[in-house]
Structure 1
Amino acid sequence: MIRVQKVRLYPNQTMKKVLDDLCDYRRYCWNKGLALWNDMYDSYLVLNDEKLKPTMNKVRNEMTVDKEDWQYLLSSRCLYQAIEDLGKAWDNFFNKSMKDWGKPKFKSKKDARQGFKTDRAKIVDGKLRLDKPYGTKDWYDIKFKGAKSLDGELKVISIYCENGKYWASLPFEVEIDKKDKTGKKTAVDVNVGHFDYTDGQINTLPNHLNKLYERINFYQRQLARKRIVNGKNATKSNNYVKTRAKLQRDYRKVANIQYDIVHKFTTKLVNDYDKIVIEDLDVKKMQMTHVASKGLQRSLFGLFRKVLTYKVNWYGKELIIADRYYPSTQRCSNCGNVKTGEDKVGLYGNQKHKTKHNEYICYECGFEVDRDKNAVKNLLDLIC
C-alpha cells in the first residue's frame, strides 16, 4: 500500500531559491507542454491523421530537444513529471465520468499554491535530498518536521510552497497488517455539521471553528475592499500580502482541525467494525442548490468517503455504498413505509405536518424517532 505523510520543510536560503525556481519551472513545463499538446490535437482533428495524435512521449521528446540553456541548470525530472501529469489530465478529459471533468487548463503564477514533483528524492540522515543538476556546486539537504515514521520505499514526492512556507508529501510503499475481525457492523449518515452512526454522533463543525470563520470573513472583506479601491495594483501592496497570508493561515488551521476529526473517526470505524454502510451522495449537485452549499462544503463529505475507502482497503474491512436513490431519510425503519409527495421530510422538516428538521414521524404506524437515527437504521438494513 501507498501511505503519504505531509511534512513541513525548512530549507536554507540557497535551497529556497532552488525550490522557487523548480516551482516556476514546473509551471513553465506544464504551460508549454499544454500549448504544444493543443496544437498537435488541433492538427490531428483538422487533418484526421492518427500519426499527428498527441501523446505524452511525443510532447516530452519535442520539449527535450528544444531545451534552452537555462533549463539544464534545473532538474530534468521536473519536466518529465509535469508532462506525465499532463498526459493523465488529457486521458481524464476523454472520460466524462471523472470528477471535475474538463480540458486541462494553463497554470497561473498568481495561484496561492505553487509546486513540483520529482521521483529522484531521497531521505538521508533524516533530511530530504533532491537530485542535484549537473554542474551545480551549492546544494544542501533540507530539514523537515512532521513525519512519524519513515519506513518503506519512497515514491514520487510533491513539494509545494504556500504562504511563504514549504511542504512536502512523502508517499511510502509499505506493508500494512490487516485488522482483527470484530463481527460488528455500522452505518454512517452524513449531515451538515455532523456524522451519525450506530454508537453516537461526531461533530465535524465544532464551536471553536466559529472564531476562525469570523476572522476568515473579516480578512476576505478587507481584501475585497482593497481590490475595489486600488484595482489591479492592490495585490502589489505589502498590506494586501500580509492580510492574504493571515487569511491563508486561518484556512490552514480550519483544514487541519477538520482533517484531524475525519481521520480519527474513520480510524475508529475500521478498528471497531467489519462492515460499514454509507450513502452515495451527489455532493456537487447538492451544492448547486445554494440552500446549504457553504455548510456542505465545510462538512467534508467527499474527504470522508475518500479517506474511509482507502482505510477499508488497507485493513481488510468491507465498505457498502447505498444506492444514490435509496430513501434512507424518507423510509420508516419500523414498518418500511416510504414518504412521498407532501409527506416527504425536507431540509426544514415537513411544512404540511409542521414537523422540525430533526423529527421523523411515520403516519402509517405512528413511529416517532430522530430523523438521523432513522436514516442510520435504514442504512444498516442493507447489510446482509
Structure 2
Amino acid sequence: MNMAYRFRIYPTREQKNLLAKTFGSCRFLYNQMLSDKIREYEVSKKMLRNTPAMYKKEYPFLKEVDALALANVQLHLEKAYKNFFRDPKSGFPKFKSKHRSRKSYTTNRVNGNVQVEDYRIKLPKLTWIRMKKHRDIPEKYRLKSVTVSMEPSGKYYASLLYEISDCENQTGVDYEDAKILGIDYAMRGMAVFSENIKKEDAGYFRKSEERLAREQRKLSHCEKGSRNYFRQKNRVALCHEKIRNQRRDFLHKLSRRIADEYDVVAVEDIDMKAMSQCMHFGKSVMDNGYGMFRELLEYKLKWEGKEIIRVDRFFPSSKKCCKCGRVKKELKLSDRVYICACGNQMDRDLNAAINIREEARRMLLAG
C-alpha cells in the first residue's frame, strides 16, 4: 500500500528558476515525444519506442534538469497510451500547454538522492529546500518518489510517496455484526445518509461565487501583460485555491469520521462525469465533490481494514419503499417526498439511502 504526504516548500530565487526550467523541459519533452509517436504511426502504422536519451543531443538544455524527471515523462506518456487503448473513453493523449497544464514533475529516490529532514528536503539538481513538515512520518515507511508542483497562485508543494509494506490497521470485518452506512447522492448537501450524521453544508463555490466573479471582472479590465494584470491574476488564483482547499478539508474530515464509526459503507455506483454533462448540472455536481468524497472514503476504509460496497446504478433505490419493499413504476425527479401505499412517507433521498444500505447487507451475506 502507498501513502502520500503533501508539504509546502519554500524555494529560493535560484531554485525557482531551476524548477521552472524543469517544468518546461518536462512539458517540452512530453509534447515532442507525443508528436514523434503520432508522426511515426501515420507513416509506418507502428508504435515508436522513443526515450528521453534520444533528444538530449539535439536539445542540450534537457541535460540541465533531473534525468529521473524526464524518465517519468516517458512513463506517463506510455501510461496515457495504455489507458486510451484499454478504454477509448479516457481520450487520446493531449499536448501539454504552457499556460493551462499543471506545472509539476516527478522524481524517484535512487541511492539516497532524495533526503528528508525535519524542516527541509533535498532533491536532485537542487540543494536543500525549506519545507513546512506539519506531520511526522513513521521511520519504517520507505520513500519511493517525490512530485514537485506549483499552484497557479505561485505556491510550491512536494508530495512524498511512501510504500507501506505491512498495514497494521487492517483488522477485517465481521459481516454478521457489521455496522453499515448507506449513502445516496444528493444535489443539495452532497449526500444523504441512512443514519443521522451531522455535517455542514457543502457548495463552497456557490458561497464564494460573487467574490470570484468580482475578482474576474477586475482581471478582464486590466491590460494583458501588465503588472496589475499578473497581480490580479494571482488574486483570482487564490480565490480558486481557497475554494478547493475548503472543499478538500470538508471531505477529508467527513470521510475520516465515517471511516472511524462504520465497518461497511454502501454507495451507489453512479457516473459523476455523465451526470455533470446532463441537465446543465455541471457546476453544482462538481461543486459537491461527491466523486472525490467516494475516493477519500474508499482508501480510508481500506486503510482501516474495512470495506466499501458499490451498489449497481440500476438498482431502484429511489423507487423502492424501504418499509414494505414495493417498487413504484413511475417517480418524477420533482417528487421529493416518497409516499407509499403502505403509509410510509419520508424524504426521497433518505429512503434511497436506507435501500442502498439494505442492498449492501444482502450482498455481503450472499457472499
**Same-fold status (TM-score > 0.5):** yes
Q: How many residue pairs are counted as aligned between the two chains?
A: 348
Shift of 1:26: 0.9
Per-residue CA shift, 1:5-52, capped at 9, x if unaligned?
11111011111111111111111111111111112222332xxxxxx4
Match of 2:294 in 1: 305
Q: Is the 8 A contact 1:329 1:345 kept in 2?
A: no
Match of 2:365 in 1: none
Separation (CA, whole Å) in 1 of partners of 2:235 and 2:102: 15
- 8-17 or 201-210: which moved more? 201-210
Shift of 1:237: 2.3
* Alignment TM-score, normalising by the size of structure 1: 0.83
| CA gap 1:236/1:73 in 2 versus in 1, 3 angstroms | same
Per-residue CA shift, 1:230-263, capped at 9, x if unaligned?
8xxx541222222221121121111111111211
Q: Is the 8 A contact 1:345 1:360 kept in 2?
A: no
| CA gap 1:179/1:266 in 2 versus in 1, 3 angstroms | farther
**2:72 counterpart of 1:81:** yes
Shift of 1:129: 0.8
**2:256 counterpart of 1:267:** yes
How do 1:270-285 residues align onto structure 2 when only pairs under 5 Å count?
A: 270-285=259-274
Separation (CA, whole Å) in 1 of partners of 2:168 and 2:28: 42
Q: 5+ residue gaps in structure 2? A: 363-367
Per-residue CA shift, 1:51-110, capped at 9, x if unaligned?
x4223xx3445335x353332222211211111101101111112266xx1111111111
C-alpha RMSD of the superposition: 2.3
Q: Is the 8 A contact 2:145 2:162 kept in 1?
A: no
* Alignment TM-score, normalising by the size of structure 2: 0.87
How do 1:1-384 residues align onto structure 2 when only pairs under 5 Å count?
A: 1-45=1-45, 52-55=46-49, 58-64=50-56, 66-96=57-87, 101-111=90-100, 113-120=102-109, 122-126=114-118, 127-132=120-125, 139-151=126-138, 152-162=141-151, 163-174=153-164, 175-178=166-169, 183-192=178-187, 193-201=189-197, 203=199, 205-206=201-202, 211-223=207-219, 225-226=220-221, 234-341=223-330, 344-346=331-333, 348-349=334-335, 357=336, 359-362=337-340, 364-382=341-359, 383-384=361-362
Separation (CA, whole Å) in 1 of partners of 2:229 and 2:101: 13
Shift of 1:118: 0.9
- Matched AA of 2:209: Y
Shift of 1:270: 2.0
Structure 2 SS opposite 1:159? strand
Per-residue CA shift, 1:183-228, capped at 9, x if unaligned?
31111112122322233245464487655232112223333x44xx
Q: 5+ residue gaps in structure 1? A: 46-51, 133-138, 350-356
- Matched AA of 1:142: I
Q: Is the 8 A contact 1:9 1:168 kept in 2?
A: yes
Separation (CA, whole Å) in 2 of partners of 1:59 and 1:209: 42
